[in-house]
Amino acid sequence: MSEIITHQSERVTRFLSTIDRMMEALDGLSKSHAPRFGGEHYVTDAELTERLKISDRTTQEWRSSGKIDYIQFEKKGKILYRESDIQKFLEKHYLKSWQ
Q: Which domain holds residue 81?
A: 42-92
Among candidates 62, 50, 71, 60, which has minimal Cα distance to 90? 62
Question: Is 47 part of any domain?
Answer: yes
Please say if the pLDDT value at position 31 is more than 80.
no
> What are the tens digits of pLDDT across the range 69-98?
999 998 888 999 999 999 999 999 999 888
Question: Is 2 part of any domain?
Answer: no
Who wins on pLDDT, 82 or 29? 82
Per the structure, how many domains does the chain have?
1
Question: Is 11 part of any domain?
Answer: no
Under 8 Å between Cβ of 79 and 70? yes
Question: Is 88 part of any domain?
Answer: yes
Question: Is 1 part of any domain?
Answer: no
Question: Is 55 part of any domain?
Answer: yes
d(CA 13, CA 21): 12
Question: Is 66 part of any domain?
Answer: yes
Question: In 10 A of CB 61, how many CB atoms?
Answer: 13
Q: Which DSSP helix (H) or strand (E) runs through 14?
A: helix 10-32
pTM of the model: 0.62
Question: Is 22 part of any domain?
Answer: no
Biggest CA-to-CA distance, the chain = 74
CATH of residue 63: 1.10.10
